[in-house]
């Protein structure tokens, strides 16, 4: 009650100084409905100009955006910390799902029993490499190539992926350049854009078949668990 009383007294002081509801809200952070109730018996301030109204609205929106950004960062931080450590089995299952989402898959009409994984996210690439290490796939069986728009810094992108994988130029094939379309407004630009990295695993037909089997095993286990829990 004391805190609310203090807010009310402060709102009345600001109103007597000529501040509008919007300005008092920015100052105190309380709702306009509360402000209206507290100061309704006080004289109204002079009518503000369009420029003043725009400035107040802009400050209010900037404050809202900053509050949302703080909430966004805090939610992500708590989610990150909730993961903790990861077991080898968890990494194994994650890697299978990751490959089935982003890797090359075999089709009855186009046999592709080989392991190839492509992604632009450095985190995804790191996880996939860690997964291959967990499976005991030697790095000597890895080959790489970069796919990137020709308007980007190709040399820097090649260096970036070489550093990330810890591999020399001899393990990289020729970079694939995507033709630049000047009429397309691309969002993936700037220093953080490094294109996509494709990871190929040599002599990988048997590995591919195991990945496919592991995936179907995961699907079956998940469905069985769902049935046991009583869900339709």
In a structure prediction context, what are the per-residue pLDDT tens digits for the chain, which is 232 residues long? 567 888 899 999 988 888 888 888 888 888 889 999 999 999 887 776 778 777 767 776 787 788 889 999 999 999 999 999 999 999 999 999 999 999 999 888 778 899 999 999 999 999 999 999 999 999 999 999 999 999 899 999 999 999 999 999 899 999 999 887 766 555 556 788 999 999 999 999 999 999 999 999 999 999 988 777 766 5
pLDDT at 200: 97
pLDDT at 107: 85
Do you know the residue count of the chain? 232
pLDDT at 19: 84
pLDDT at 161: 97
Q: How far apart are CA 92 and CA 221, in angstroms?
A: 15
For residue 64, how many other CB atoms are within 10 A of its CB? 10
pLDDT at 183: 62
Residues 6+ apart with CB under 8 A from 26: 56, 59, 60, 63
Rounded alpha-carbon distances, angstroms, from residue 80 to 77, 84, 88, 100, 123: 5, 8, 19, 24, 14
Q: How far apart are CA 197 and CA 120, in angstroms?
A: 6
Burial label, 12 (beta-carbon count in 10 A; 0-12, 13-18, 19+) = middle
Phi, psi of 156 (to 5 degrees): -65, -40
List the helix and strand counts (H, then E) for the chain: 8, 4
């Amino acid at each position: 009650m004391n805190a609310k009383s203090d807010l009310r007294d402060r709102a009345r002081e600001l109103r007597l100084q000529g501040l509008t509801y919007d300005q008092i809200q920015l100052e105190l952070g309380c709702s306009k409905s509360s402000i209206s109730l507290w100061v309704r018996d006080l004289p109204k301030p002079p009518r503000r100009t369009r420029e003043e109204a725009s400035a107040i609205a802009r400050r209010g929106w900037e404050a809202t955006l900053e509050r949302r950004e703080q909430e966004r960062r805090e939610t992500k931080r708590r989610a990150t910390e909730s993961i903790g450590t990861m077991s080898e089995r968890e990494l194994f299952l994650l890697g299978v799902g990751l490959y089935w989402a982003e890797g090359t898959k075999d089709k009855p009409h186009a046999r592709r029993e080989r392991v190839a994984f492509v992604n632009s996210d450095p985190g995804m690439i790191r996880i996939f490499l860690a997964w291959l290490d967990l499976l005991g796939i030697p790095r000597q069986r890895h080959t790489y190539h970069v796919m990137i728009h020709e308007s980007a810094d190709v040399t820097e992108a090649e260096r970036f992926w070489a550093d990330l994988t810890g591999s020399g130029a001899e393990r990289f094939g020729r970079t694939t350049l995507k033709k630049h379309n000047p009429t397309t407004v691309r969002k993936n630009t700037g220093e953080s854009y490094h294109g996509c990295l494709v990871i190929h695993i040599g002599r990988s037909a048997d590995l591919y078949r195991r990945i496919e089997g592991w995936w179907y095993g995961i699907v079956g286990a998940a469905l069985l668990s769902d049935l046991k829990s009583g869900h339709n």
